Amino acid sequence: MVAIANYTYTKSKLKVSEGDTVAVFGASSTLATDFFRDGAPLTGQSDHLVNFQLGLEDQENLSQQTLILSYASKRVTSRGLANQDQPDVYEYPGINLDFVVRQGIHVLDRQFDFKFEARNITGNKYKETQSNGTNTVTYNAYDIGTTFNFSLSTTF
């Protein structure tokens, strides 16, 4: 049996001061404070990431069954304009569950490798929202879906 787990806590924030400048294509302003808020989190950075993997493995017979659980807390995907008090756009990844099986098979003196994957078993949906505390707008949302992949391979 194989069990692997990790947890990452990251607290990121922008440091923007009066007089800082940026170059934004097509923008008339170069003031960083027009585009960024001091102390705002970095885009794409979740504060909490958790990964847990539990598996059975038989190396002699090339057999693996693995359950993979992951979690990511909310994260900024798009920056709202600071000079117009636009809130940032957040994604809420949540929990994801995958299952992967790999099995070696001998047929007619040839080694075959069978693989099965089930991804996003929990049926997570993708969702980005923009909220000012009073009103919330769904910025982008869609069903990711659960995917299943089968493969059979060999070498010649």
Provide the number of structural domains found in the chain: 1
Work out the average pLDDT over 96-123.
Answer: 95
Of 47-61, 79-93, 106-120, where does mean pLDDT reach its minimum?
Answer: 79-93
- 50 vs 72: CA distance, rounded Å: 7
The answer to whether residue 57 is domain-embedded is yes
pLDDT classification of 155: cutoffs 50, 70, 90 = confident
pLDDT classification of 35: cutoffs 50, 70, 90 = confident
Can you read off the two tokens belonging to residue 85? 């008090």
Work out the average pLDDT over 111-132.
Answer: 95
Three-class secondary structure assignment of 3-66: EEEEEEECCCCCCCCCCCECCCCCCCCCEHHHCCCCCCCCECCCCEEEEEEEEEEECCCCEEEE
Predicted confidence at residue 123, as pLDDT, reads 94
pLDDT classification of 142: cutoffs 50, 70, 90 = very high
Predicted confidence at residue 109, as pLDDT, reads 87
The answer to whether residue 19 is domain-embedded is no
Predicted confidence at residue 118, as pLDDT, reads 98
The answer to whether residue 15 is domain-embedded is no
SS3 content of the chain, % helix, strand, coil (to 5): 5, 55, 40
What is the span of the domain harbouring residue 62?
2-10+42-154
The answer to whether residue 101 is domain-embedded is yes
The answer to whether residue 37 is domain-embedded is no
- 34 vs 156: CA distance, rounded Å: 61
The answer to whether residue 128 is domain-embedded is yes
The answer to whether residue 143 is domain-embedded is yes
pLDDT in tens, 41-84: 999 999 999 999 999 999 888 899 999 999 999 999 999 887 78
Looking at the chain, the whole-number percentage of residues with pLDDT higher than 70 is: 100
The answer to whether residue 149 is domain-embedded is yes
